[in-house]
A and B are shown apart, each in its own frame.
Chain A
């Protein structure tokens, strides 16, 4: 931030900014120098901000009608759907909004994996992002419990029981989480409280995430350090604002399709049956965005180790900046990493698929192989690849490959200097 000093033009603005530098902050949304080669994969930060605000606004309005009580929660959700003015719309936006939020965050995460955005000097941005992702999963899980349907109840039972895998104190922790001897009313009310709290924690972390981002500035598809401002950058407004806005519009079309044409396709029909502690649904599945981790949990035949594997699968991402030993950020210049990247994408999609299938026979075998590969990618392939891989030559600036248009660096540099 130090490399671009801002002073407001008006006298009043200067007077105010000297006392509270709010306008300097606002300047980060206007003149802020941004790499000029950012592609559409970079628009998901803005889309995610939109998702968070959508969830908070629809969540607040739903909370005006929802009743967090085991005897009334299910009915109050039906009341929202049938009686409350536009209640159906607000609830469908909120429920599908969670899925859209995860869709966007997965694209955002895989963008970072492809272009090496987690590498030095952006490790803190990355770790903040992983914490946000963990909080998102907690919020989504607790939100899914609130309608108090069969999947709500049994999802809550299975997930809270994960803690019982902890030796000695596990059972005590589960009873403490439940506030009873099973998932019941005390569990519901505390989940509602936490579900309400977490989005605001996320909002705070998003501010830190963006703050940390604006210290080194955006990574870019070429993955090189750039000077800002320079001819490699454009002001955030209007260039990035318009691009983000257009991408957001496209995203909202997808969002609206789900809300208006297939509002329940991402949910589970069993959740329209009220919670019954006597009967477990024949086939319990979490929401789609948690399926890969669910597959990892089920692929390990030991209870404690299964939970450890599932948590490790998420937490391993936090140490990714130190597991990837390659100095080159962007996969564009890493021919081998690029292939392993796509294998990882396929691996996660396969895990998601088998996570939705019964844990037996061939599905279980596939889940085990895919789980093993997931850890192999992070713990073996990435560290070794940094030393073994022969990377392609990286351009010195963003402008160079554009103006040069040839892989020959000397020629490109020559041409560029002529234009100057």
Chain B
């Protein structure tokens, strides 16, 4: 069971949340102009990363707000939790302790 730190409600059990898959997938800017291949990419193709993966979660039985999470898909360690609309934090850099990338309280597997 993951212990997930909701940005609004604090650490809660995984069972309070629902998964939303890969984060930062934007709706096509010009849907009319898309080829079948591009539609296929948008509808059916998502990254399937082994390692650090940016994904969306929603706190269904709490504040009901969506947020983003950077999680390792092998160790399941939660590396960062950040708000919708914010870019994926760069965990390679040493100075990750910014408002964009808060190390979640109780982020364990």
**Are A and B a genuine interacting pair, yes or no?**
no
